[in-house]
Every structure is written in structure tokens, then in C-alpha cells.
Amino acid sequence: RELLKNGRGAEIFSGSNFGAQKPQNCGQGTNMSCGQNVENNGAQNAETSSHYSPLTSHHSGITLIALIITIVIMLILAGITINLTLGENGIFQRAKLAKSEYETASVQEQLEMDSLRTMGLDDAITDVTIEEYINNLKLEGLEEENIKERFTINQKKEYGVVIGAKVYSIYAEKNGIYVKLEKNHNILMADNDAFSANDKFLSTGLYRSDINSVNFATEKRHLEEGVVGYSDVTALGHPANTVMAWWKETSLGSGKYDVTIGSEGGVIAPIISRGLFYNMGITSINFENLDVSETINLTYFVANNSNLTTLELGDNFDTSNVVTTGYMFWADNKISSLDLGNKFDTINVIDMGRMFQGCQSLTYLNLGNKFDTTNVTYMGYMFCELYNITELNLGDKFSTKSVTNLDTIFAFQSASSQTGIKTVNLYLGVFGEEMDNRESVNTNDMFYNFGTQDSRIYTKSSEVKEWLKNTVHFNENQIIVRDY
């Protein structure tokens, strides 16, 4: 700048004098000429200039890779988040499962409470119908698939409700709704189609009229030699194939079959066994290995079997929970002998109407030592039309304490059997005693066509004798008071 000011700039930088005087630092301490230095500086600047382009490209590559990695990580995190939220074990699924488990626990708690509440005969649920009760369970969260309709005829209904591994029976009787936990799985199915010989028996596909005999077994033998068919007859709600029915042809080409029903450890009758063996073609039936201890309804149980000659209840026919035995043996008109055994406990029964009516061939009837009628209210036609009975002992537990209807109870002979009328000895036991409501009890035709004039009625109470004399106008000689 000073040189230019002094007018010497042109001299120094002119072409002829360029090399005559060097700038201050040219060539000092180096072998390079000033031109080389300038050249090198230019090259260095060019190198520096060219160095910026690949560096910028390198940074751009790193940014792109980082972006891709970030996107991948975000996608992975998004997948994890979606899975945690919506997956099989996700938050929503777990929340749904927790809700379902809570509802299931709530329903099960309700059923447990109601099963305890309805243990007694007089403890039925009466404030709702069975349909309303089932709908309330649905509102609590019970799934439709866990409700099995087992039986429905008129007002008699039963549902099986499955909660996990537990099965509850919910059934309706005249006095209300009952709930019972079924502790075993080997329960026989109920049967709605029990009123025509042309109806099928359970799920076998066999017509009732084509079955010659029924037996029960403590094991499953449906694959044994000679079996021509078998079927699962397990109660709805319980594991399939727990109870099996199998059958063999009675004789080749007969079209009649001998059916066996079996399960490991024996077979349990359904809670509502109404009409289970009604109107069949059977000539014999053996209940030795059938457990009826959980059953509450035996109405029409083995009734209207016109070919039945052999009926064996066995030693284990425990009826202690049964509420009704009405029509139980009705119109089994070829049975000549019937022994109820020592397990036929009727302490909870309230309805015995027409129980033995029409057993026209019966000459021997043993009620056993647990035939307790303390709670029975209806006995109408109970022993009506026992044409061939000549002696009947009611035992010491045949109480009429709760009864309201004795209509035609001892009409052993019907009007159509006048020519074959029998002489009958009837031992009343405690019948007629402890009756505070005698005036209101229906005693119409109580002893209609009872027997010949030689027939006798034995009682232990003089009071009962007077009541009978005034009620049915018996000859005083026909009613005998004595201890026996």
C-alpha cells in the first residue's frame, strides 16, 4: 500500500522488474521461489476448495443413514407399542380379559351364594322367574355360550351354566328356583321328548318303542363286541363322552335293542328326571348302578310301560332330595311285585299324586322303611286301580300331617273291575293321626270300591277310626283298632 502511495507499485510489479526485487518473505528460509509459493498457495487454495465438496457429500450420507435408522427404530417402537396395546397380550386385551374375569367371578359368586341359599326345600328363590334369573346372569356378564338349556316342559325348566370347570344346575319347581353345583361330570342328560313311543330315546336315535331293556354300568363298554351302536348321553355343560349309551340287538333281525348306559364310577341321574323312561317298549329295567341322590323330580320317571314286567330299583336308589314322585310308576300294568328298598327316602316329597295308579297286576308292594310322607300335600289317586293288591302296609311314617288332598287314594278297584273285586287288608300305621285340618282335607271317594265286605282296615288310633266312620261310612266291623 505504501509503494503504491509512493508511485513505486508499477516498478515493482512491472514485468521487467518483477524478479529484480523480491517481496520481503519470498525465498527466505526456503528453496521455493516466490512464484512457486504463489503457485503452491493457489494449489492449496484449490485443494482446500476441492476438499469442501466431498465433506459436504459425506455429511449428507450420514444424515440419510441416520434418517433411515431413525425411521426403522420408530417403526419398531410403533410395532412394539401397537402390540402392547392391541396384541394378544396387549393392554386392551388384558383389560378385556380382566373385565371378563371380574364378570365371571361376579357371576360365580352369585351362583355360589344362591346354591347355599336354596339348599333347603323351603328356600327357593321366589322373586324372579327362571328366565329373569338367567337374563340377570347375562347382564352380569355371563356369555350365551355358557348357558345350556337342558329341559323345558310347561313350567319345568332346567339350565346348565358352565363357569370354568364348574357346572351349575338352575331349575324351576312349583315353589321357585333352585341353584345347585354339580360336583361330578358323569351326569346323564335329561329328556324333553318323553311322551310318545315314537319319540327318540335321549340322543341314541332309537325309538322308545324299539328298546327292550335298559341297564346301567360302572364303566364304558361301548366298543365291546356285539355293539351295533353307541351315543354320547352326557348332560349338557359337562365334558363330552363322559356318559355313553350303547346297544345290542335283542335277537338278530328283531328290531329291538338292549341298551346299557355307563360311565366310570357309575351314572348320575339328571336333577330333573321327569319322564326319563316313560312310554317305552321295555320289558325290564335295572337301576342298580343309577345314582338318583341329586334328583329332585321323578314325575313320570318310569311310567306307562305296558310291557314292563321286571323293575329293579336296587339297594342304592336314594331319593332323599326328591320333591315330587307324582305318576312315577303310573300305568305300569304288568308289574306284579315292587320293592322300593331301604333307600327310597321321601322326607322332602310334597307331591305323590297317582304315584302307583294303574299298576293293575301288582300283588306285592313294599314301601320300605324310609317312606316318610310328613311333607306331602297331595296324595290324590295314589293307590287307585291296584286291582290285584290284597295287602298293603303303609308303615309307621305314612303321615297325613301336611296333606290337603286324599281324593280316591285307596280306590283299589275301579267300577269296571266289579266282578273281580278283591278282599284287601290295609294297615294304616299313623295315617290319619296328627291331622289338625281334617275338615278341610279333600276326602272325596277316598275308599271308593276299596274291596269286598270282608276287607279290613287296621289302625292304631281310635280317633282315626271315628274319623273314617264319619267320613266314608264304613261298616264299624271293617275298621279295626289294634297295635300291630
What's the rounded Cα separation, in Å, for the pair 177 and 17? Answer: 130
Find residue 339's DSSP bridge partners: 366
Least confident span in 140-149, 229-238, 282-291, 353-362 = 140-149
Query: Which triple of cell numbers denotes residue 483?
Result: 297295635
Side-chain-side CA neighbours of 78 within 13 Å: the count stands at 6
- pLDDT, tens digit (0-9, with 9 covering 90-100), for 231-269: 999 999 999 999 999 999 999 999 999 999 999 999 999
Give the residue carrying C-alpha cell 518473505: 25
Cβ pair 151, 192 in contact under 8 A:
yes
Cα dihedral 234/235/240/243 (nearest 10):
-20
- pLDDT, tens digit (0-9, with 9 covering 90-100), for 21-62: 444 444 444 444 444 444 444 444 444 444 445 545 556 667
What's the rounded Cα separation, in Å, for the pair 41 and 57? Answer: 25
State the average pLDDT over residues 297-315. 95
pLDDT on residue 377: 96
State the average pLDDT over residues 142-164. 87
CA 24 from chain center: how many Å? Answer: 113
What's the rounded Cα separation, in Å, for the pair 95 and 100? Answer: 9
In the β-sheet with 176-182, what is the strand arrangement from edge to edge? 147-153, 156-163, 166-173, 176-182
pLDDT on residue 23: 45
pLDDT of 155 strictly over 90: no
pLDDT on residue 222: 94
Better pLDDT: 475 or 308: 308
- pLDDT, tens digit (0-9, with 9 covering 90-100), for 169-204: 999 987 889 999 998 999 999 987 667 778 999 999
Better pLDDT: 475 or 219: 219
Q: Which range, 76-85, 86-95, 412-421, has the best average confidence (pLDDT)? A: 76-85
The amino acid at 338? L
pLDDT, the chain, mean? 85
Distances (CA, A) of 327 to 57, 301, 354, 379: 101, 8, 5, 11
State the average pLDDT over residues 288-301. 95
Task: For residue 430, name the pLDDT band (cuts at 50, 70, 90).
Answer: very high
Query: Which triple of cell numbers denotes residue 467?
Result: 274319623
Question: Residues with Cβ < 8 Å from 319, sequence gap 6 or more?
Answer: 292, 293, 295, 298, 325, 343, 344, 345, 346, 349
**What percent of the chain clears pLDDT 70, i.e. is strictly above it?**
83
pLDDT on residue 327: 97
The amino acid at 390? T
- pLDDT, tens digit (0-9, with 9 covering 90-100), for 112-133: 999 999 887 778 999 999 999 9
State the average pLDDT over residues 298-305. 96
pLDDT on residue 345: 97
pLDDT of 157 strictly over 90: no
Predicted model pTM: 0.78
CA 328 from chain center: how many Å? Answer: 24
What's the rounded Cα separation, in Å, for the pair 284 and 303? Answer: 13
> Residue 474 burial (CB < 10 Å; 0-12/13-18/19+)?
middle
pLDDT on residue 44: 47
pLDDT of 14 strictly over 50: no
* C-alpha radius of gyration, the chain, whole number: 48
Least confident span in 154-158, 325-329, 381-385, 426-430 = 154-158
pLDDT of 94 strictly over 90: no
Side-chain-side CA neighbours of 460 within 13 Å: the count stands at 15
Cβ pair 388, 415 in contact under 8 A:
no
